[in-house]
Amino acid sequence: MLKILVIDEIQTRTRELCTQLAQSGYQTAAVLPSADNLPEQVAAFKPDVILVDTNSPSRDILEHLAVMDRTAPRPVVLFGSDRTNDTIRQVVQAGVSTYVVDGLDISRLQPLIEIAVARFEHYQSLKGKLEEANRQLDERKIIDQAKNLLIKHRKLDESTAYALLRKTAMSRGETIATVARELVGSASLLL
Span 3-104 CATH architecture:
3-Layer(aba) Sandwich (3.40)
The fold for domain 130-190 equals: Arc Repressor Mutant, subunit A (1.10.10)
Return the number of other C-beta atoms located less than 10 Å from residue 73's C-beta: 16
Judged against a pLDDT cut of 80, whether residue 191 lies above it is answered with: no
Q: Residue 188: its pLDDT value, please?
A: 80
Q: Residue 99: its pLDDT value, please?
A: 93
Cα end-to-end distance, the chain, whole Å = 60
CA 108 to chain centre: 26
Q: What percent of the chain has pLDDT over 70?
A: 99
Give the pLDDT confidence of 26-74 residue by residue, as tens digits. 999 999 998 888 989 999 999 999 999 887 788 889 999 999 999 999 9
Q: Residue 11: its pLDDT value, please?
A: 77
Q: Residue 115: its pLDDT value, please?
A: 95
Q: Same CATH fold, 130-190 and 3-104?
A: no
In 3-state terms the chain splits into helix, strand, coil percentages (rounded to 5) of: 65, 15, 25
Mean pLDDT of the chain: 92
Radius of gyration (C-alpha) of the chain in whole angstroms:
25
pLDDT band at 10 (very low <50, low <70, confident <90, very high): confident
Q: Domain ranges for the chain, please list them.
A: 3-104, 130-190
List CB contacts of 26: < 8 A, sequence separation 6 or more: 1, 2, 3, 4, 49, 113
Detail the DSSP E strand segments found in the chain.
Answer: 3-8, 27-32, 49-53, 76-80, 98-101
User: What is the mean pLDDT of the segment spanning 81-97?
Assistant: 91
pTM over 0.85: no
Strand order in the sheet with 3-8: 27-32, 3-8, 49-53, 76-80, 98-101
- Which of 99, 104, 120, 123 shows the shortest CA–CA distance to 49? 120
Q: Residue 75: its pLDDT value, please?
A: 97
Give the pLDDT confidence of 130-166 residue by residue, as tens digits. 999 999 999 999 999 999 999 999 999 999 999 999 9
